[in-house]
Structure 1
Amino acid sequence: MKHMIAAMAGGFALLSGAFANDTEAAVAAARDWRTAHGADILSGFVDLLSLPNDANDAENIRRNADYISGLFKERGFQMELLESDEAPPLIYGLRETPGAERTIAIYVHYDGQPTEPAEWTHPPFQPRLYSRAMTEGGEEISFPLAGEAVDEDWRLYARSASDDKAPIPALLAAIDALDETGIGFTSNIKLIFDGEEEAGSDYLDDYLAAYADKFADVDLWLFCDGPTHQSGSPQLVFGVRGVTDMEVTVYGPNRGLHSGHYGNWAPGPGWRLAQLLASMKDEKGRVLIKDFYKSTAPISKAERAAIAAMPDIDDELRETFGLAETEMDNAPIAERLLLPALNLKGLKSAEVGALSRNVIPPSATASIGVRLVKGNDPEEMLNILEGHIKKMGYFITREDPDADTRARHPLIAKVTRSSGYPAMRSRMDDPRVSPLVGALRTVAGDELILNPSLGGSLPLYMFEVASTAPIVILPIANYDNNQHAADENIRIGNLFYGVDAYAAVLTMGAN
């Protein structure tokens, strides 16, 4: 069947400009297809998930790239592996639609987080099917045979089942459904599949610059990554936060001292660090550092309206996470994600528990993370943090202090900075996005949530440099997918939602 569809794909593409596509018919076709071929979709997904995909494993990453490229080539895409000696291949594909006046670029990353097999219930690259989530008492079941029914509450467990291979079988199924029924695309479709996202996408900007001509005509970037809303409802997201960080080490004596002999005399670096950190943020969660919020882009009227329309999940989240109160007197999480955040990633000063000793240690270190929002420059935000440390009386150094530096400065802080990257947020009222919203409402109806920004970070700023097209994120994975952790999973109903959603995207109307 797959090869027959591939042979028919070109002919169907020629038909697509000849008539106005009906997104509702496309979604209905996708639902019929996945109902009839659900077992086949899972079988193909298992084959893909069985390929290890750590970005640092060059041999297996190449196997993934070749395999995925072949799947889309069968479906009428012109495929290329864009190569670099320094990075995994960037998979590029193009399927043109005669008469189309819009080009949509679909981004997925095919690499996954490293795994520690001992932490998993089953080997991470040997997919297993469960009747429902393990945490809900689900039991392992056999994979269905061709033609057998598939339950949407089943869970498929494997590395990258949700982050981020899930969009690939969903998109393939949507294409198969449209091709079999002769419902043509309404846009040119480009594929950009990244093989190093979990390793930081260090070379992605190089690819975008080297092949700028391939991306110059993109009218809409669609990023297929991340989870649905915590309420369980589908969402379309218009931005992500940026990120940067620094480590701050403060000093006491040049060697560990017995706290009985020297306590109350030699300053303890743990206390110094605690006082420094306490000066940065008050008990309500407001950052006290001068100008920390100054560069933050205002929340637009459209964004405020979107926040007001979102489900109120804060009470449920507080109960889930065992929190009696959250920052700024329980301010809504959607609002808080549009402000820069100062997070304490880790602290180190001597030892605790059974390893603790009566010692004044030589140093104490804090790892500080900054989540950025639109308007914040990563370097300038670190400058602001350093300015505050200086204001608190510290002499800043980049190396451990020598004896002369110790003799001249009572308060010393070694600051190690990271580069980071800025946030990205597209306009929610951009008319180029309106057809996408309408198409997705065909699938999700009033349940579709329009979200100004995810809390997490992705280097989407690179794509703002590559073109002026709006960038939006269409997540399909269940929010409880154990992303980046052991026993990562995808709920089958979420995978099937992706099939429907991509069918809508491929056939959405004109601006």
Structure 2
Amino acid sequence: MLAQCFSSNVCLFNWRADEDKTGRTACSCAVTLICDSVRTCPCETERPTHLTFAIFSLLLHFAMQASPPLDQVFQYIDEHQDDYVQHLKEWIGIQSESSNPTKRDDVIRMMQVVGETIKRLGGTVELTDVGNEELPSGKIIPLPPVVLGKLGKDPNKTTVGIYGHVDVQPARFEDGWSTDPYLLTEKDVTALLSESREGNLYGRGSSDDKGPVLAWLHAIEAFQALKQELPVNLKFIFEGMEESGSKGLDELLKAKNETFFSNIDYIVISDSAWLSKKPALTYGTRGLCYFIIEVQCANQDLHSGLYGGTVHEAMTDLIALLDSLVNSTGYILIPGIDSDVVPLTNEERVLYEAIEFNLEAFKHTIGTTELLHKTKEDVLLHRWRFPSLSIHGIEGAFSGPGAKTVIPAKVTGKFSIRLVPNMDPDKLSNQVMTYLNGVFAARGSPNQMQVALESGSKAWVAHVTDKQYDAGRRAISKVFGVEAELIREGGTIPVARSLQHTTQKSVMMLPIGSPDDRIHSQDEKLSRDNYINGTKLFAAYIAEISQH
């Protein structure tokens, strides 16, 4: 290619001609921007008579082609991956368990660390007070502050809001972890190339959600280290109570909607995982209604030898009530429960046909031989798109080892229903209570029974034709070289709907975790590959969304 650039003894790589000490003309040559193997100007015989605008443009084109700015960012990220792992190790070492009151100081310290990290990037930070929490004992402790950060305020740039959380689920080595859950440990290294290592980073919060939060901050730092201007303005919403219901967050969103959130164009969340090894964009989650049924037959537990056959047993009533909720095919028996479910269109079903999902591998992972549905599409639809009912347990019944011939005086059954658009928790609650009261009345039992809704949240769904999803697709293609899968989550991530509903902004979930990361479980991990390429993905997304 270089040979084609020379004609008439004119050096196309010459920015200027300088006189050396001997009086000869020498070229100050920019060729090394294009080819590191060339160290001298190909044209040293004659001082160029002119450098036309076309030649200058060609030189600039070659230089840009040789090292595009985003490629430089990617290279920087690769070169600093060990630093990023060390940063994650430091964050994992903070035991920020939001559900454990004795760890509240750790959660608050974690929020302070996040704030200081944003400040080092040049951002401004407000550690926003969201009130207190009353414990069952009556003790009052402070809720962790929410970090609201800003970086950039150019009115001509797109403004992106990034949500994440840095609190974690409880973890103890004695619960079955292979390593200390709060000491990031890399193992299972499979690639041993000198410049590339792919291992798994084990530690509580590595995938959910400290790793992704750090990946965003590292992506920003890479632009800055290379003295590249950030192509967007950024705002950060990082909380420390997500694993405990995001207490105080909804009120904060409403209070700040007309100020902090007013000029945000898009909101992106990285608090989920891919369905397979193929990168994905998540555009929907199911909602959740959690119910309890309480049945009481006596004021104390009874000996079955003395009282069995003489009383209406609470456990018998409860089992009958739970059995009336769903049949053996998974069909929910509560009348009218699916009346508000948005009908599935042919266009939507096509999205499921393209998703990579192996039924046999799925069965192997969960340890079963047969599923409720036979095809990939039907399994995914019932996992994400249709409501489901699950029975979780019975409180008050004997469940220990050995035999105990007791008739429990009071038992409490627990079950939940996953909601999809456009199901409403209040309407569903009325349907459930009406149905169960009818079933109980038909039994003719004199026992006391009550049903209560413990918590309820609606489903969230976004428009996959939104410009933000276009940017996400292009970013995934740029980093991973594949088309992004469009998926939903069967679980519930209330903050997605809260952010979309309150701010009326476009919300997208851009995950970097794998389906086998074991979040909330023993041996939670994030692969080094996902961590580093996820950092590149966030950098690419920042570049792509700036084009809108």
Which stretch of structure 1 is more off in the superposition, 468-477 or 360-369? 360-369
Which stretch of structure 1 is more off in the superposition, 381-390 or 444-453? 444-453
Which residue of 2 is the match for residue 384 of structure 1? 431
Which stretch of structure 1 is more off in the superposition, 114-123 or 35-44? 114-123
1:132-168 deviations in whole A, cap 9, x for unaligned?
49xxxx9xxxxx9xx974512x122222111110023
Aligned-partner Cα distance in 2 for 1:83–1:463: 19
Residue 233 (1) aligns with residue 274 (2): no
Would the alpha carbon gap of residues 450 and 210 (structure 1) be closer, same or farther in structure 2, given more than 3 Å must change?
A: same
Q: Taking structure 1 as the reference length, what is the TM-score of the superposition?
A: 0.83
Aligned-partner Cα distance in 1 for 2:227–2:542: 13
Picking from 262, 285, 293, the partner of 1:216 is 262
TM superposition shift of 1:265: 4.8
How many residues align? The count is: 466
Which stretch of structure 1 is more off in the superposition, 29-38 or 337-346? 29-38
Residue 89 (1) aligns with residue 136 (2): no
Residue 116 (1) aligns with residue 172 (2): yes
Which residue of 1 is the match for residue 97 of structure 2? 54
Contact 1:240 1:454 in 2 (8 A): yes
Please give the secondary structure, in 2, of the residue aligned with 1:327. Answer: coil
Aligned-partner Cα distance in 1 for 2:69–2:318: 59
Contact 1:38 1:149 in 2 (8 A): no
Which residue of 1 is the match for residue 488 of structure 2? 452
Which residue of 1 is the match for residue 458 of structure 2? 422
Residue 506 (1) aligns with residue 542 (2): yes
Cα RMSD over matched residues? 2.9
Aligned-partner Cα distance in 1 for 2:279–2:123: 28
Please give the secondary structure, in 2, of the residue aligned with 1:452. Answer: strand
Which residue of 2 is the match for residue 72 of structure 1? 118
TM superposition shift of 1:430: 2.5
1:289-332 deviations in whole A, cap 9, x for unaligned?
11111122334555323212101322321122222222245563
Picking from 263, 266, 286, the partner of 2:311 is 266
Picking from 358, 363, 371, the partner of 2:418 is 371
Contact 1:97 1:185 in 2 (8 A): no
Please give the secondary structure, in 2, of the residue aligned with 1:237. Answer: strand
Q: Which has the higher strand share?
A: 2
Please give the secondary structure, in 2, of the residue aligned with 1:433. Answer: helix
Would the alpha carbon gap of residues 394 and 125 (structure 1) be closer, same or farther in structure 2, given more than 3 Å must change?
A: same
Contact 1:421 1:459 in 2 (8 A): no
Please give the secondary structure, in 2, of the residue aligned with 1:418. Answer: strand
Picking from 320, 338, 341, the partner of 2:385 is 338
Question: Larger radius of gyration, structure 1 or 2?
Answer: 2
The alignment-based identity, stated in percent, is: 25
Amino acid at match of 1:334: L
TM superposition shift of 1:342: 1.0
Which residue of 1 is the match for residue 212 of structure 2? 167
Aligned-partner Cα distance in 1 for 2:117–2:75: 21
Please give the secondary structure, in 1, of the residue aligned with 2:440. Answer: coil
Aligned-partner Cα distance in 2 for 1:67–1:253: 53
Which residue of 2 is the match for residue 399 of structure 1? none
Residue 470 (1) aligns with residue 506 (2): yes
Contact 2:78 2:532 in 1 (8 A): no
Aligned-partner Cα distance in 2 for 1:375–1:483: 28
TM superposition shift of 1:40: 1.4
1:360-390 deviations in whole A, cap 9, x for unaligned?
4334331011222221222221211111112
Aligned-partner Cα distance in 2 for 1:254–1:82: 48
Which residue of 1 is the match for residue 200 of structure 2? 155
Which residue of 1 is the match for residue 83 of structure 2? 40
Picking from 192, 199, 205, the partner of 2:244 is 199
TM superposition shift of 1:93: 1.5
Contact 1:248 1:365 in 2 (8 A): yes
Contact 2:286 2:458 in 1 (8 A): yes
Would the alpha carbon gap of residues 431 and 36 (structure 1) be closer, same or farther in structure 2, given more than 3 Å must change?
A: closer
Amino acid at match of 2:331: R
1:365-417 deviations in whole A, cap 9, x for unaligned?
31011222221222221211111112213399xxxxxxxxxxx9625322232
Contact 2:289 2:455 in 1 (8 A): yes
Amino acid at match of 1:437: R
Picking from 487, 511, 516, the partner of 1:480 is 516
Please give the secondary structure, in 2, of the residue aligned with 1:295. Answer: coil
Would the alpha carbon gap of residues 352 and 503 (structure 1) be closer, same or farther in structure 2, given more than 3 Å must change?
A: closer
Would the alpha carbon gap of residues 288 and 504 (structure 1) be closer, same or farther in structure 2, given more than 3 Å must change?
A: same
Please give the secondary structure, in 1, of the residue aligned with 2:335. Answer: coil
Please give the secondary structure, in 2, of the residue aligned with 1:419. Answer: strand
Contact 1:81 1:89 in 2 (8 A): yes
1:259-278 deviations in whole A, cap 9, x for unaligned?
45554553333332222222
Gaps of 5+ in 2: 1-63, 133-142
Aligned-partner Cα distance in 2 for 1:502–1:60: 28
Which residue of 1 is the match for residue 292 of structure 2? 247
Which of structures 1 and 2 has the larger relative contact order (alpha carbons within 8 angstroms, sep 6+)? Answer: 1
Contact 1:224 1:476 in 2 (8 A): yes
Aligned-partner Cα distance in 2 for 1:47–1:255: 51
Aligned-partner Cα distance in 1 for 2:233–2:223: 15
Aligned-partner Cα distance in 2 for 1:42–1:196: 24
Aligned-partner Cα distance in 1 for 2:320–2:96: 44
Which residue of 2 is the match for residue 494 of structure 1? 530
Contact 2:173 2:181 in 1 (8 A): yes
Aligned-partner Cα distance in 2 for 1:53–1:363: 36
Would the alpha carbon gap of residues 457 and 302 (structure 1) be closer, same or farther in structure 2, given more than 3 Å must change?
A: farther
Amino acid at match of 1:458: P
Contact 2:459 2:492 in 1 (8 A): no
Aligned-partner Cα distance in 2 for 1:200–1:358: 38
Which stretch of structure 1 is more off in the superposition, 121-130 or 107-116? 121-130
TM superposition shift of 1:182: 4.2
Gaps of 5+ in 1: 1-20, 139-143, 397-407
Aligned-partner Cα distance in 2 for 1:318–1:192: 37
